[in-house]
């Protein structure tokens, strides 16, 4: 019938939209199946995340070929909170291109760049408009001070800062987005003569920091890299 990709940084928003899409197709709740990655074991590090692999995709495909229970159409929702392995993505291609006539397939994801272009081409892409992420005035001062001190910070201070990024992938990406916006604004301020004091970093050093954070964002958003280790590598290279 049809395959969709719903993209939003906000988990609740993309899942809410997926259910509204099911309503549009008049799909009964009993005919909505959800597949998502397994939770990490309690003993594992809080930074450890698990990819969706072949086993989850096999389960996903089994649900696709079941008949609707209460209506004429069913939906199978694949929640991609973190990462689909390359093998898993490749195994989806055929079913996404030709889903059963009684089935809609919905992939919910926080970042469309984590999916192959060949998956994009087989689905209808729905990107939910996200609010501009910005720090509050108090947060801006806090993070600007931390960012500005990175070049002179000790190894211990850099590692401590890296640790603050390790809660989960979505929160980390939002935080990095805010920092990138803050750094860009700082570069603009310096170039138009709004440098606040002589101790501020130069535009060149802020530009280097911008590149570091952009690279970290790309690594974390498109791979299953360990968040804390990624940020440690970023800060220790400054």
For the chain, give the percent of residues with pLDDT over 90.
39
The structure's pTM equals: 0.64
Going by their DSSP bridges, the two strands 124-127 and 2-7 should be labelled as: parallel
- Is residue 91 packed enough to be buried (19+ CB in 10 Å), middle (13-18) or exposed (0-12)? middle
Same domain (yes/no): 119, 144: no
Same domain (yes/no): 180, 67: no
| 214 assigned to some structural domain | yes
Tell me which of 102, 127, 152 is where a domain ends.
Answer: 127
Res 91 pLDDT > 50: yes
**CATH code, 59:** 3.40.50.300
Cα distance between residue 174 and residue 110, in whole Å: 11
| 58 assigned to some structural domain | yes
Cα distance between residue 79 and residue 5, in whole Å: 10
Question: Cβ(52)–Cβ(37) under 8 Å?
Answer: yes
SS3 state of residue 74:
strand
Same domain (yes/no): 24, 119: yes
**Mean of the per-residue pLDDT values of the chain:** 85
Same domain (yes/no): 108, 169: no
Tell me which of 66, 92, 127 is where a domain ends.
Answer: 127
Give the residue among 188, 229, 236, 195 at the shortest CA–CA distance from 212. 236
Q: Which domain holds residue 216?
A: 137-236
Same domain (yes/no): 66, 151: no
| Among 33-42, 44-53, 182-191, the least confident range | 44-53
Q: How many CB atoms lie within 10 A of CB 191?
A: 10
User: In this structure, what DSSP letter does residue 223 have?
Assistant: S
Tell me which of 81, 103, 127 is where a domain ends.
Answer: 127
Question: Cβ(151)–Cβ(143) under 8 Å?
Answer: no
Same domain (yes/no): 86, 202: no
Residue 140: alpha-carbon gap to chain centroid: 23
Same domain (yes/no): 52, 163: no
Place of tokens 């990024």: 165
| 132 assigned to some structural domain | no
| 88 assigned to some structural domain | yes
Q: Please, which residues have CB within 8 angstroms of residue 227's CB and are 6 or more apart in sequence?
A: 47, 165, 166, 168, 169, 172, 220
For the chain, give the percent of residues with pLDDT over 70.
89
Same domain (yes/no): 35, 104: yes
What is the model's pLDDT at position 67? 92
Give the residue among 115, 113, 112, 216 at the shortest CA–CA distance from 172. 216
Same domain (yes/no): 118, 142: no
Same domain (yes/no): 12, 100: yes
- Could you give the C-alpha distances from 66 to 13, 21, 24, 93, 98, in angstroms and in order? 27, 20, 21, 19, 15
Same domain (yes/no): 23, 117: yes
Give me the number of domains the chain comprises. Answer: 2
Note the pLDDT tens digit of each residue in 135-188.
Answer: 888 888 899 988 888 888 999 999 999 988 867 887 888 899 899 989 988 888
Cα distance between residue 194 and residue 187, in whole Å: 10
């Amino acid at each position: 019938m049809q395959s969709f990709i719903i993209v939003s940084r906000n988990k609740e928003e993309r899942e809410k939209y997926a259910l509204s899409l099911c309503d549009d197709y008049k799909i009964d709740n009993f005919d909505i199946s959800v597949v998502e990655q397994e939770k990490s074991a309690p003993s594992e590090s809080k930074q450890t995340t698990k990819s969706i692999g072949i086993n989850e995709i096999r389960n996903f495909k089994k649900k696709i070929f079941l008949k609707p229970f209460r209506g004429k159409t069913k939906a199978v929702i694949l929640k991609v909170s973190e990462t689909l392995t390359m093998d898993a993505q490749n195994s989806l291609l055929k079913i996404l291109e030709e889903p059963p006539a009684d089935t809609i397939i919905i992939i919910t994801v926080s970042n469309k760049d984590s999916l192959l272009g060949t998956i994009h081409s087989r689905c209808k892409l729905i990107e939910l408009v996200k609010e501009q992420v910005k720090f509050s005035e108090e947060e801006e001062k806090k993070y600007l001070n931390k960012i500005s001190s990175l070049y002179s910070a000790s190894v211990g201070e850099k590692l401590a800062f890296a640790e603050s990024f390790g809660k989960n992938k979505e929160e980390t990406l939002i935080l990095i987005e805010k920092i990138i916006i803050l750094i860009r604004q700082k570069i603009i301020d310096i170039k138009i003569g709004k440098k606040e004091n002589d101790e501020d970093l130069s535009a060149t050093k802020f530009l280097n920091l911008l590149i570091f954070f952009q690279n970290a964002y790309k690594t974390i958003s498109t791979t299953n890299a360990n968040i804390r280790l990624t940020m440690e590598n970023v800060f220790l290279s400054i």
